[in-house]
Amino acid sequence: MEAKIANVFRSNRSQAVRLPKAAEFPPEVTEVEVIVEGNTRVLVPARKKGKDWAAYFARPTTLSEDFSIDDRDLLQPDDVSFDD
């Protein structure tokens, strides 16, 4: 991965970064998350609100071959009491 040089400047009271064309985000990215690690700043496309759970549940669910639930480990309705 080749590093690109970007210009840092002031825009009103905010600091801004002008990305070179080779490092620009796709047009649909309108917000970024800034991760601060010491002197390092990492810009990551912001997650779209409301789409995170949809993407999570849209993933295929696969379980490992050794995954199993033994019915004997599950509580039976007779074992549960809602009374004090």
- pLDDT per residue as tens digits for the range 24-59: 999 999 999 999 999 999 999 987 766 677 777 777
DSSP 74: S
Q: To the nearest whole percent, how much of the chain has pLDDT over 90? A: 49
Q: pLDDT-derived band of residue 67, with 50, 70 and 90 as boundaries? A: confident
Average pLDDT score over the chain: 84
- Residue 31 has a pLDDT of 93
Percentage of the chain exceeding pLDDT 70: 88
CB of 44 within 8 A of CB of 35? yes
State phi, psi for 23 to the nearest 5 degrees. Answer: -120, 10
Which are the contacts of 34, defined by CB distance < 8 A and separation ≥ 6?
41, 42, 43
